[in-house]
Amino acid sequence: DGGITQSPKYLFRKEGQNVTLSCEQNLNHDAMYWYRQDPGQGLRLIYYSQIVNDFQKGDIAEGYSVSREKKESFPLTVTSAQKNPTAFYLCASSKSGREADTQYFGPGTRLTVL
């Protein structure tokens, strides 16, 4: 089955700890994205990557970091500098170029910082 997988589904961490969220896709998409979803806030873009070894900040990148060493993988690290890390995190991917427009989403990871 082609798709996007995110693991784990639920994640709990203590305040002050860094945590890495996994995102893998087998759609052969060049571009990948990370969003944060909060109740009543919609989705907000954290980082995106158009191609391997390249990524750009989105609207709310502070306190987050990413890497893109492989086409299939785009892990997100939530650092201790992120002031309100508890949220639902969604990963997405898309083709590049003109077809970058349609993004396909994974099931999400719900992070709770205690």
Partner 1 sequence: AQSVSQHNHHVILSEAASLELGCNYSYGGTVNLFWYVQYPGQHLQLLLKYFSGDPLVKGIKGFEAEFIKSKFSFNLRKPSVQWSDTAEYFCAVNPAYSGAGSYQLTFGKGTKLSVIP
Question: Which residues form the interface with partner 1 (CB under 8 A)?
Answer: 31, 33, 35, 40-45, 48, 50, 56, 58, 90, 94, 98, 100-108
Cβ proximity to partner 1, 16 vs 40, nearer residue: 40
- Closest distance of CB 75 from partner 1, Å: 19
CB neighbours of residue 76 within 10 Å:
24
User: Tokens 């002050």 map to which residue?
Assistant: 16
Q: Helix, strand, coil proportions of the chain in percent (round to 5)?
A: 5, 55, 45
Cβ proximity to partner 1, 82 vs 94, nearer residue: 94
